[in-house]
Structure 1
C-alpha cells in the first residue's frame, strides 16, 4: 500500500514514477535530488533533468490530503528484477515552500509497504493507465477537455480504482469504457468513474467489477470553468490547469500494458465527436460526463 506523509497546504500533489533509468543519478547516493524542470520560472540550485531518462511509468499519485491506499489482496506493483522499474522517483509539486526556505527540512513523501516477491503473496501485477489532455480554457466559459485511446495490446485489464486530477478550475472528471457492438455497430458506454476534483484526490474504488480488453476505447472528460479574466493553459504550475484521469488495474499474470499514457491536444483541437473511434456521443453520456451525482 501507499501511506502519504504530506499536507495539501505544502505539497500540491505528489507522484511516484517507476524508471528504468532516472533523469539524474549520483553515484553511491540513493536519495539524489534534482529539478525535474516542470515548474515554470525561477532559477534552481539543483541539477536540472527530466523525471526519467528512460522507461517512465506512473505508479502512484496523491493530492488534496487524500488518505492511504490499500491494494486488493494479492495485487501489487512489481519493481526491480526484470520489471523495467529499476528506480523509484518521488516528484513533489509544491504549493507553498515558505515554511522551509530558511534551512528547515520538508519531509513530504510517501511510505511504501513492500514485500519480497519470493514470498508468493502477490499473484496479480498492478499498473496505472493515465488519460490526459493539453489545451486551453477561454476566460469566463465552461470548457470540456476530452481524450480517448484504443487498447491495442492483447491483455485483459481488471480496473479496481480511479483518480481524478485538475487544479482549481475543474468541476467534474469522468472516465469511460467504449465498446463497439458488433451487431448494431453502435458504441456501448460504461462509466469507469466520476469525481469532483476539488475533493480529496485519492484513488476511489470502482462501483462494479469491469474488464477492459483489446479493441476497447478508454475515454475521459474534464469539465472546467475558467472564472478568470484571462485564458488559462494546461501546464504544471499552480496557475495553469491539468486534466488527468488515472485508472489503476491489475492483470492475471505478470504482463501489464506497454502503452501507459493516452493524451490528446485538448480544446480547441480535439474533442470526442471529431474522433472516428467515437463520433456519436449519446445525450445521456454527454450529460452524465459533466454532471456530478
Structure 2
C-alpha cells in the first residue's frame, strides 16, 4: 500500500513539474564572467566577449547572475554578429571617452541586440518550457558580449579584482519557440524639481505573432513608476490599452511575468512611460552615469516556428520633444493607471 501511494505521489509530482521537471532535455552551463578586471575609475563600463560555435546552434534557456549591486550597478548581455573589439576586455560605455589604458568601442560592431539585463540583486531567470534564445549556427548572434557597469570603485583600490558575470544555461536540443527582446526607451531631459513623463512608442510592422512572457524596468534614482502597454485600435477607433507590466524601478530589476500574455501582432503598438520625479536643482539628462537618468522597459517574448522581430529597439526623443498626447498617435490614454501603482 505504501509503495503504491509513493508511486502515485511521484506520478502527480511529475505531472506538476512538466517536461523540464522530468528532464525533457539536457541543460548545460557556461560561465561568461569578467576576467578578473580591476576598474580604475567610477562609472566605468567594461565589456568582454565570447565567440559562439558557428557549426551548430545553441539555445539559451536560463540566466544565472554572478554579481551583487555592491560591485556592479548593472549588467547587460548583448548578442552580436561581430563584437565591438577583438580584445579580451574593452571600455564600452555608451558615451565612452578616450581611454589611455583600454581600447574604447561599442559592445557590438554589428548586429547589436540585448538579450538579458540585470541590476539590483535580481535573481536568476529561467525561460518558459521549450523557449530559448538561439545563438551560433546560422543565427544572427555569433558573439555574446557581457557589459558590466562599475558605478563605484572603492572596493578595488586595495588591488582586488572582479569576475562579475552570468552563468548561461543552454541546451543543444533544437527548440521551436525562439525568444527575443525589444527594448523601449527614451532620450530627453527632466526639469529641476519637477515630475516628468518620459514616453515612447512604436508600431509592429512585421507580420509575426509574438507572445510576451516577461518584462523588466530600469531607471536610475529618479524613477518612480515604469509601465508598458500593447495598444490596439478598436473597430470604433478607440484605442485598447492592455497593460503588459508596471513596477517601481527601484525594486530588484529582474524580469517579471507579464500581466497579459495575449499575442502581439502586426499593426499593434508598444508604448512605455517612465514617471520621473526630480528633487535636484538642475536639469537631468538621459545618460550612462548615476548623475544622469535612463528610462527603459524591456519586453521578452517568443515566436513559434519563426524568427524573432528584426526590430530590437524602440526609442523616442523624450521630453520635451515627444509625449504620447502631443504625438497624436493615441486616444483614451490611461494617464492615471500608467503613473500609479495603485490604479
Residue of structure 1 equivalent to 2:49 = none
Are 1:132 and 1:243, in contact at CA under 8 Å, matched by a contact in 2? yes
CA RMSD for the aligned pairs? 1.3
* 3-state DSSP of counterpart to 1:191: strand
Distance 1:67 1:18, change over 3 A: same
Residue of structure 2 equivalent to 1:180 = 233
Distance 1:97 1:86 in 2: 32
| Candidates 144, 155, 163, aligned match of 1:99 | 155
* 3-state DSSP of counterpart to 1:288: helix
Residue of structure 1 equivalent to 2:198 = 145
- CA deviation digits over 1:164-195, x for unaligned, max 9? 000000000000011011x2011111100000
* 3-state DSSP of counterpart to 1:99: helix
Distance 1:235 1:82 in 2: 35
- CA deviation digits over 1:81-128, x for unaligned, max 9? 111001000001112222124432101111100111xx23x2200000
| Candidates 184, 187, 191, aligned match of 1:131 | 184
CA shift for structure 1 position 40? 5.8
Residue of structure 2 equivalent to 1:14 = 75
| Candidates 114, 117, 127, aligned match of 1:71 | 127
Instruction: Report the TM-score when normalising by structure 2.
Output: 0.80
Distance 2:236 2:180 in 1: 33
Number of positions where the alignment pairs a residue of Structure 1 with one of Structure 2:
281
| Candidates 94, 105, 111, aligned match of 1:49 | 105
Distance 2:154 2:262 in 1: 45
Distance 1:50 1:265, change over 3 A: same
**Which structure is larger by alpha-carbon Rg, 1 or 2?**
2
CA shift for structure 1 position 44? 4.7
| Candidates 191, 214, 217, aligned match of 2:266 | 214
- CA deviation digits over 1:203-262, x for unaligned, max 9? 000233211000000000000001111110000111100000000000001411001110
Instruction: Report the TM-score when normalising by structure 1.
Output: 0.93
Residue of structure 2 equivalent to 1:290 = 339
